[in-house]
Every structure is written in C-alpha cells, then in structure tokens.
Amino acid sequence: MILSVQHLDQFLQSVEVRAFKMAVMAVHNDADALDIVQDTMMKLVQKYADRPEQEWRPLFFTILQNQITDWHRKQNRTKHWFTWGKNKQTDEADDTVEVVEGVDDITPDQVMEQHQHQEAMLEVIETLPIKQQQCFLLRCWEGMSVEQTAEVMAVSTGSVKTHYHRAVQKLQLAMNAWQEGSGHE
C-alpha cells in the first residue's frame, strides 16, 4: 500500500501541472481549474488507486475531461437561466458544450498587438470549442493515439478525427492570418 501511494504521488506529480494548464485553457479561471484538478486527483485515488499503474494516465485524463465537461454543463445551465428565450448558435451539432466564440472573431491585428507567436497560438487554442480543444490537447500535447483519445473522451474514433481536423484547420487559419498580419511571411 505504501509503495502504491509513492507511485501514485509520483504519477500525480508528473501530470498535475499539465492537467492544470488544460483545465485553465478550458475554463479560463485558475481557481476553478485548481478545483477541477483536485477533484480529478481525489477521484483517481478513491476509485482507481488499486488499478495497474499503466491505466492511471488514461483514467486520470478521462476523469479530467469529465470534470471539465461537467463544469461547462453547469456554466451552460446557469447561462441558460440568464439568457432565457435567446437563441444560441453553436459551432457544431455534436458539441454539447460550446462556450467560446469562434476563432474567426480574432483579427490578426489584435493577436499581433497583444501577443508573441506562442502566446497567440495558446490564445487560439483557448478559443477552440471545448471538444476540439480537448481532442487537440490530448492528441498533440499528450501524444495520445486516436483510439486512446476516443476512449478518454468517450466518443468514437471518427469523432476524434473530425474534432482534431477542425481544430487544426482553425489553428492554421488563425496562425496564417496572424503571420500575414504581423509581417512574418
């Protein structure tokens, strides 16, 4: 048991900062992101500490994605009450949680004025619809395969490919526009 706790400690230490960054990009709030990571750690320890170590990583990110999705659902419910009767248009039919504006709203000038290239990139990632963002971060940053990402996000591999493709398209458009606007061509 003591050995298991040490391994859990090492594992959690290895993913906590990245998990926090993922949560911050999804919820745009440090305090909420910390709560999400803490709840994720709690759930992993409570429910899956006895599982083989190689399962911890996908389980951890599954719980994290669920926590983020739950957070957005709660926000949407609150938003729904305050915007009663107003029609909302979503970016995608299969994105049940859509809380951010599309990247089309970001002009190259605004990005160029405020950020360097990496910061602009991060800002574009932050503005992606939540499913696309989760998919992009798991695939590109965590290096998960399509199958692993599908398992973590509880969607089909086809959905993963679609989300990822759309995310990459938006990033390409935004970053190309930023390059043109900032004279980096």
Partner 1 sequence: MSERMTENDLEQQAKRALDQSEQQVPDSVRAALAEARSKALAQAAPRPKSNWLTPSLAAAASTVLALGIWFATQGPTVNAPLDSMELMVSLAELDETEWELVDDLEFAIWLSEQESLDQSAELSYADDQYLAGGRT
Q: How far is the CB of 82 from partner 1 (least distance, A)?
A: 30
Is-contact 40 56, C-beta < 8 A?
no
Q: Which span sits near partner 1 by CB under 8 A: 59-67, 70-78, 90-98, 164-172?
A: 164-172
Which of 27, 29, 45, 59 is close enough to bind partner 1 by CB under 8 A? 45
Is-contact 12 38, C-beta < 8 A?
no
Q: How far is the CB of 139 from partner 1 (least distance, A)?
A: 9
d(CA 83, CA 156): 32
Contacts of residue 141, defined as CB under 8 A and 6 or more positions apart, other chains included, come to 18, 22
Regarding 168 and contact with partner 1 (CB under 8 A), the answer is: yes
- Which string of x and - marks every residue 132-151 that binds partner 1 (by CB under 8 A)? ----xx--xx----------
Q: How far is the CB of 87 from partner 1 (least distance, A)?
A: 33
Which of 26, 27, 38, 55 is close enough to bind partner 1 by CB under 8 A? 38
Burial 72-110 (b: 16+ CB within 10 A, else e): beeebeeeeeeeeeeeeeebeeebebbbbeebeebebee
Q: Which span sits near partner 1 by CB under 8 A: 53-61, 96-104, 148-156, 168-176?
A: 168-176
- List phi, psi (to 5°) of 173: -60, -50
Residues in the chain: 185
**Residues in touch with partner 1 (CB under 8 A):** 1, 4-5, 8-9, 12-13, 16-18, 20-21, 30, 34, 37-38, 41-42, 44-46, 49, 117-119, 121-122, 125, 136-137, 140-141, 168, 171-172, 175-176, 179, 184-185
